[in-house]
Amino acid sequence: MLWKCSVCGLVHEGPEAPEKCPKCGAPKEKFVALSDDDAKKVYASDRTNDIHMEIIRLSMKIADLADEGVKLNLDPACVSTFRQAKNEVWIIKQRSKAELAGHMAKGKW
């Protein structure tokens, strides 16, 4: 069964709500049981949320590498390619962040 803290939104899995929220410290009474439909949404979206988070992590790594390439300033073509990569990866990162925000707004976290 899934329980959601009505104070901070943390989702807890277990036969009953925890005595206090591990995130915000709210008491057990502040947890509500998720409906079967809402619980299914959370479970179904778990893997896609992980994929989006990995895309964000990799995007940040690509941006760092592109910055390093710009700083090396080997030649204009390389610098241009690195700048373009950084711009493109920003868009990719923002798409995944927006999708995660949408998942959270729909209770699929």
Q: Mind listing the pLDDT tens digit of every residue in the chain (109 residues)? A: 999 999 998 999 999 999 999 999 999 999 999 999 999 988 989 899 999 999 999 999 999 999 999 999 999 999 999 999 999 999 999 999 999 999 888 877 7
pLDDT of amino acid 106: 83
Q: Is the dihedral of CA 60, 63, 48, 38 positive or negative?
A: positive
Q: Locate 91 and state its tokens.
A: 């868009």
- Candidates 14, 15, 17, 72; CA nearest to 5 is 17
d(Cα 3, Cα 18) in Å, to the nearest integer?
9
Q: Locate 39 and state its tokens.
A: 């619980």
Q: For domain 1-34, which CATH number applies: 2.40.160.40, 2.20.28.10, 3.40.50.2300, 3.40.50.1980?
A: 2.20.28.10
Q: Is the dihedral of CA 91, 45, 26, 35 positive or negative?
A: positive
pLDDT of amino acid 103: 87
